[in-house]
Chain A
Amino acid sequence: METGPAENLETLWNQALNLLQAQLSKQDFDTWIQPLEPLATSGKTLEFRVPNHMFATWVADHFLDKLTHTIGDVAGFSPELRFICDPADPQGKLFIETAEPAATKRKVSSSRSPGRLIDGYEFENFVVGPNNQFARAAAMAIAKQPGTLYNPLFMYGGVGLGKTHLANAVGHAIVEHDPAARVMFASSDGFTNQLVEAISKNKAQEFKNRVRRLDVLIVDDVQFLSGRERTQEEFFHIFNVLYEQGRQIILTSDKAPVELDGIEQRLCNRFGWGLVADIQAPDTETRRAILERKAADEGIALPARVAELIATRIDSNIRDLEGALTRISAFASINHTEINVEMAEKLLLAVAPDAKSELGFDDIEQGVTQHFGLKPEELKARRRTKKVAEARQVAMFLMRRHMGASFPAIGQFMGGRDHSTVVHAYQAVEKRCRADQRYKHMVDTVAKAIGCG
């Protein structure tokens, strides 16, 4: 039997420390190198204990080469270094476990496809706009420091606004940075199905263990867990385990945590522990950017005017937007013509009737005054009774949201108000919609009455 290199680990590390001290600034050495604690070694792999995950990332990013070289010089072979943060376990290890045992690996890979990230959803091809800026910033921050910043990240917003895209982008970024990271992406249905399957095959424990060992768990559309008590129960425990171990959890939903129906209170509470970020429908400019991005990605020659047209006409969600583009480009390529406004106009009629483009300030004014029982001039006047002020805010909100009109233009129309007043009104309505279900319902009703709900 061979001598275990573990015996020499301490000596080896002390020699390496001496060399490193000479190479690094005192501060770097004291802060980042000294605290490293050699734990175990197996073959050419060395494992170090570090105080926390952030520490591990920092050391790996900044000192890995230096450490590898120096230890390599002392040891006489090129080592592979690993940093683990596990302050709870003072027990030494005999050997480092190399990845997953073969048996489990095989099982995981076969049942893994449902848990895999969706290819192509990356940060690079995510178009930023004011509607999703916050969620994107949060997602990018998490991708850099999973588990430490905001946990869980809860993103919500309507269909086809990019929640799934962002959630996957975080996963991809983490895997890119650390290929060994265990990331699972599952829709709520997928998660439930896997759990049910595991239970029926009496492998619930196995499934749970697998999930509990994840570094990142992404569950898409958690609202579909609604009414599934058993799944919620399991998910609750999994959530706790991952959360306690500082593993990143990312959730998406069509509603904010407080608005989720049929989901246990304790789960909803937990959903709100980290960061809740909403994704709004994109404004006209963002829609245009998305179209141009998509066109560029797919090599479609999209004239600016056509992009403008599609962006104004289709304001529901990104999926519809991209659908319209695909439709137009398909038509053009089949007929061997170039994309032009007339053609787009014709094709768009089928998907998005022209009604929207006719929506003007007057329509909204009329709808709002009708709903609140006011006269049009009251809306534009200076009076500030509660009812009038509320109606004014809603009108300005709808003009921005559904016409995509600019803030100064809205201010101008509303009796020459300053654009900052409009911005304030817009934000106030938006905020109240989020906080107050009944208010939101009222705004939606008005919007529907005008024909832009």
Chain B
Amino acid sequence: MNIQLDREILLTVLGRSQGVVDKRQPMAILTNVLLTAVTGELKIIATDLEVSLEQACPAKVKDAGQVAVSARKLFEIVRESSSDKITLKALDNKGLEVSYGRSDFKLLGIDPADHPGMPDSTAGAKNTEIISLPVAELSEMIRKTVFAVSTDDTRSNLAGVYLDKTDKGNGVRMVATDGHRLAVIERKLSSGAIGGGVILPRKGVSELAKLLVDQDGDVTITLTGSEAIATVGDCTISMRLVEGTFPDYKQVVPKDSPKVVTAERDELLQSLRRVSILSSERARGVKFTIKSGLVTVSANNPDIGEASEELVADYSGDDLEIGFNARYVIDVLGVLPEHARVELCLNDQMSPGVVRGDDRDYRYVVMPMRI
């Protein structure tokens, strides 16, 4: 292999690979990227066997060939370069020579044949579904749900976002929950239709979101029953679906919440950020004291002190006191549009509340906490 390519493009591609390769080094091979030079382009594959990413970038290819080298080191070498062009040359010992300007690096490599490459997704797939939707919409869906995904590794069925069909029309619904809060968003599909629900792993979805940055057009997602393969531009990301049953999320979304508080999103967000400074570190409990036209947000931590802040809100029902984990509310306000109003739809102290903006296809359910 002997190729020359553009630094910027290579850096972007290698940067995306960083999140995919296995950093825990159980199998050293998976900390490597597989580089394959073919006519006119370099293919770069990174995988941890759960999530695999294949990207292509244009290259001047003198000799085709294949090497596998440390993803991290190659990325750092390219990142520190000040020249526009990078030359990659395979060495006899399976290594890779990287050169630019007056710098020269010789990276040790491993036998490319040992690298697993991309999974053979078509093998054994029976009921393949193919859907597509605009990049911007998928990106928004992920952004507005992925933060609610459980980080508890013992609950594998919550460790991802759930893709489901919508009740009506040709849409897709994305749901994420950690058992305390749940985010659900619906968007229309450009083409195709989704059958039953599947759980996409958190890592795969997060890496997919990175690919969507600065892209236009549609993303195509192929569901094979065991894997989801998303293609956008020159990138293909494949992720193994999470096995398990996603909880019955429809049941936990309250249909009717009579007490609706409307407030400015920015004000509420800032208030919560301030007041929660004095909430307990673990539970982050913040009390909402809701009266006609006025919401008082307060926190009380016997070890540190107390804080409270009043904000004007539209509300005309009975007085209500309810506690929430401030982080859960801050999280959702963070993804709702700025300079807009948000609704806090409540029932009573013990029942889940719903947070939403103007977009009625996005809802966030959060369970109160005892204060």
Residues in chain A within 8 A of chain B (CB atoms):
1-7, 9-10, 38, 40, 42-43, 89-95, 97, 101-104, 106, 201-202, 205-206, 209-210, 213
B368 touches A92 (CB 8 A): yes
Number of B residues, CB within 8 Å of A: 44
Minimum CB–CB distance from B153 to chain A (whole Å) comes to: 6
In the docked arrangement, what's the CA distance between A443 and B273, Å?
72
In the docked arrangement, what's the CA distance between A152 and B85, Å?
65
B325 within 8 A of A: yes
A102 touches B243 (CB 8 A): yes
Query: Which residue of A has the minimal Cβ distance to B284?
Result: A91
In the docked arrangement, what's the CA distance between A89 and B280, Å?
12
A7 touches B347 (CB 8 A): yes
Residues on the A chain within 8 Å of B352, using CB? 4, 6-7, 92, 94
B347 touches A103 (CB 8 A): no
Minimum CB–CB distance from B279 to chain A (whole Å) comes to: 12
Minimum CB–CB distance from B297 to chain A (whole Å) comes to: 17
Minimum CB–CB distance from A214 to chain B (whole Å) comes to: 12
Minimum CB–CB distance from B255 to chain A (whole Å) comes to: 4
Query: Which residue of A has the minimal Cβ distance to B323?
Result: A90
Contact of A7 among B248, B254, B323 (CB under 8 A): B254
B325 touches A91 (CB 8 A): yes
Residues in chain B within 8 A of chain A (CB atoms):
24, 26-27, 153-158, 167, 177, 179-182, 242-245, 247-248, 250-256, 283, 285, 323, 325, 347-352, 365, 367-371
In the docked arrangement, what's the CA distance between A93 and B158, Å?
14
In the docked arrangement, what's the CA distance between A7 and B255, Å?
10
Query: Which residue of A has the minimal Cβ distance to B180?
Result: A91
Minimum CB–CB distance from A184 to chain B (whole Å) comes to: 15
Residues on the A chain within 8 Å of B323, using CB? 90
23 contacts between A and B (CB under 8 A): A1-B250, A4-B252, A4-B253, A4-B255, A6-B252, A10-B349, A42-B252, A43-B251, A90-B371, A91-B180, A92-B367, A94-B177, A94-B181, A94-B247, A94-B252, A95-B248, A101-B155, A101-B156, A103-B156, A201-B26, A202-B26, A205-B153, A210-B154
A202 touches B24 (CB 8 A): yes
The interface centre, meaning the residue of A43, A94, A202 with most chain B CB atoms within 10 A of its CB, is A94
Minimum CB–CB distance from B159 to chain A (whole Å) comes to: 9
Minimum CB–CB distance from B144 to chain A (whole Å) comes to: 17
In the docked arrangement, what's the CA distance between A195 and B158, Å?
25
Residues on the A chain within 8 Å of B158, using CB? 101
Minimum CB–CB distance from B42 to chain A (whole Å) comes to: 30
Query: Which residue of B has the minimal Cβ distance to A92?
Result: B367
Residues on the B chain within 8 Å of A106, using CB? 243
Minimum CB–CB distance from B177 to chain A (whole Å) comes to: 6
B157 touches A101 (CB 8 A): yes
Residues on the B chain within 8 Å of A7, using CB? 254, 347-348, 351-352
In the docked arrangement, what's the CA distance between A92 and B325, Å?
10
Residues on the A chain within 8 Å of B254, using CB? 3-4, 6-7
Residues on the B chain within 8 Å of A1, using CB? 167, 250, 253, 255
Contact A92:B369 (CB < 8 A) given known A101-B156, A104-B244? yes
A206 touches B153 (CB 8 A): yes
Residues on the B chain within 8 Å of A205, using CB? 153
Contact A91:B367 (CB < 8 A) given known A103-B243, A104-B154? yes
Minimum CB–CB distance from A215 to chain B (whole Å) comes to: 14
In the docked arrangement, what's the CA distance between A6 and B154, Å?
25
In the docked arrangement, what's the CA distance between A7 and B155, Å?
25
Query: Which residue of A has the minimal Cβ distance to B159?
Result: A101
Beyond contacts A90-B370, A103-B156: 17 other A-B pairs, Cβ-Cβ < 8 A, are A1-B255, A3-B256, A4-B253, A6-B350, A7-B254, A9-B351, A42-B251, A43-B248, A91-B369, A92-B180, A92-B369, A94-B365, A95-B251, A97-B179, A101-B155, A101-B244, A209-B154
Residues on the A chain within 8 Å of B154, using CB? 104, 209-210, 213
In the docked arrangement, what's the CA distance between A91 and B366, Å?
10
A209 touches B153 (CB 8 A): yes
Residues on the A chain within 8 Å of B182, using CB? 94
In the docked arrangement, what's the CA distance between A95 and B182, Å?
10
B245 touches A101 (CB 8 A): yes
Residues on the A chain within 8 Å of B347, using CB? 7
A94 touches B244 (CB 8 A): no
A10 touches B348 (CB 8 A): yes
In the docked arrangement, what's the CA distance between A202 and B25, Å?
9
In the docked arrangement, what's the CA distance between A364 and B24, Å?
65
In the docked arrangement, what's the CA distance between A201 and B26, Å?
8
Minimum CB–CB distance from A439 to chain B (whole Å) comes to: 49
In the docked arrangement, what's the CA distance between A202 and B24, Å?
9
B248 touches A42 (CB 8 A): yes
Residues on the A chain within 8 Å of B369, using CB? 90-92
Minimum CB–CB distance from A384 to chain B (whole Å) comes to: 64
Query: Which residue of A has the minimal Cβ distance to B365?
Result: A94
A2 touches B251 (CB 8 A): yes
Contact of A97 among B27, B155, B255 (CB under 8 A): B155
The interface centre, meaning the residue of A1, A2, A40, A89 with most chain B CB atoms within 10 A of its CB, is A1
Residues on the A chain within 8 Å of B349, using CB? 10
Contact of A9 among B167, B177, B252, B350 (CB under 8 A): B350
Minimum CB–CB distance from A409 to chain B (whole Å) comes to: 61
Query: Which residue of A has the minimal Cβ distance to B241?
Result: A103
Residues on the B chain within 8 Å of A97, using CB? 155, 179, 247
In the docked arrangement, what's the CA distance between A62 and B328, Å?
39
In the docked arrangement, what's the CA distance between A292 and B213, Å?
78
Contact of A95 among B247, B283, B350, B371 (CB under 8 A): B247
Minimum CB–CB distance from A248 to chain B (whole Å) comes to: 20
Minimum CB–CB distance from A45 to chain B (whole Å) comes to: 11
